Amino acid sequence: KAGVTQTPRYLIKTRGQQVTLSCSPISGHRSVSWYQQTPGQGLQFLFEYFSETQRNKGNFPGRFSGRQFSNSRSEMNVSTLELGDSALYLCASSWTGLNYTFGSGTRLTVV
Amino acid sequence: GNSVTQMEGPVTLSEEAFLTINCTYTATGYPSLFWYVQYPGEGLQLLLKATKADDKGSNKGFEATYRKETTSFHLEKGSVQVSDSAVYFCALSDQEGSSNTGKLIFGQGTTLQVKP
């Protein structure tokens, strides 16, 4: 079966711009989580959605937001980009909210 | 709050050597524990998991045992291969009470380099 699909794979944006990343979970999975991975901070939890509801949110500023659609696909948005937002953004999906399958990520570079 | 601590890397081994990557955790309740592996340019792949004390997770020759008394989940492999070179992450499932929050808490990752 198809895995978790994240688009785009790579993205270059300028400071101050906004960006939207997309995640298509494994068919039937209703839980989608997002993580930011950087060399300095490691893997940090952004938020988790289940059946279109945000159930949990990490310690990130309000510039980071997300949503989930009725087909479980999810998007995350970062507004007013800063250089420090450069990272690998990983999406993961789960049926149970426990065993997560990760996508390959979107590499965001802010210049 | 809950946390995971991994041994610092990089770990450099010769092919067929024995591998241990230490992982300890701090958590209330009874979280599930995981090892994920990340190859260059890729996302995370679940390597193995354990959901309760004394459970042993195993996959592809890797093993880890959930030790509640020592709050540890050390990863081991008897004979590593060059293809095992990657970054390994220990993680736990965050909980509120007895319910999973949908959040994984990761260690900092340990880079393993296996030389032929």
B57 touching A (Cβ < 8 Å): no
**Residue A72 with chain B: CB contacts under 8 Å:** none
**Residue B44 with chain A: CB contacts under 8 Å:** 90, 92, 102
Contact A33 B103 (CB under 8 A): yes
A33 touching B (Cβ < 8 Å): yes
Rounded-to-integer distance, Cα B65 and Cα B24, Å: 12
Give the per-residue pLDDT at B100: 73
For residue range A2-31, list pLDDT tens digits in order.
Answer: 799 999 999 999 999 999 999 999 999 999
Q: For the sheet with A64-68, list strands across it.
A: A5-7, A19-24, A74-78, A64-68
Rounded-to-integer distance, Cα A45 and Cα B65, Å: 25
Rounded-to-integer distance, Cα B6 and Cα B23, Å: 5
Cβ B72 vs Cβ B5: under 8 Å: no
Mean pLDDT in residue range A72-99: 94
Rounded-to-integer distance, Cα B46 and Cα B33, Å: 11
Mean pLDDT in residue range A88-101: 89
Of the candidates A48, A99, A102, which has its C-beta nearest B103's C-beta? A48
**Residue B104 with chain A: CB contacts under 8 Å:** 33, 35, 43, 45, 92, 100
Pairing of strands A106-110, A10-13: parallel
CA distances from A12 to A89, B40, B58 (A): 13, 20, 39
pLDDT in tens, chain B (116 residues): 889 999 888 999 999 999 999 999 999 888 999 999 999 888 999 999 999 999 999 999 999 999 999 999 999 999 999 999 999 999 999 877 667 777 899 999 999 999 99
Rounded-to-integer distance, Cα A27 and Cα A41, Å: 31
**Residue A45 with chain B: CB contacts under 8 Å:** 103-105
Residues 61-80 of A with CB under 8 A from B: none
Cβ A107 vs Cβ A11: under 8 Å: yes
Q: Which pLDDT band holds residue A1 (cuts at 50, 70, 90)?
A: low
Of the candidates A56, A98, A105, which has its C-beta nearest B43's C-beta? A105
